[in-house]
Amino acid sequence: MTPFMEGVISGAGGVVVLIGLLVTIPLKLHAWYMAAQLRDRGLQ
């Protein structure tokens, strides 16, 4: 494999990881927020 192809593949991998983080972090925050609201409702 050429160094250029290796650079493209590693760069694409980095982009995929970044997109993955950008997608999963808001989902985790939302799930945590919903769980906290449900817990608060259960305590009342």
pLDDT in tens, 1-44: 799 989 888 888 989 999 999 999 999 999 999 999 999 888 87
pTM across the whole model: 0.51
> What is the distance between the alpha carbons of residues 27 and 15, in angstroms, rounded to a whole number?
19
Q: Considering its fold, how many domains does the chain have in total?
A: 1
Backbone φ, ψ for residue 2 (5° rounding): -80, 155
Domain that holds residue 16: 3-41
In this prediction, residue 8 carries a pLDDT of 86
In this prediction, residue 5 carries a pLDDT of 87
> What is the distance between the alpha carbons of residues 4 and 10, in angstroms, rounded to a whole number?
10
In this prediction, residue 9 carries a pLDDT of 85
In this prediction, residue 1 carries a pLDDT of 76
Q: Which residue reads 């409702």 in tokens?
A: 41
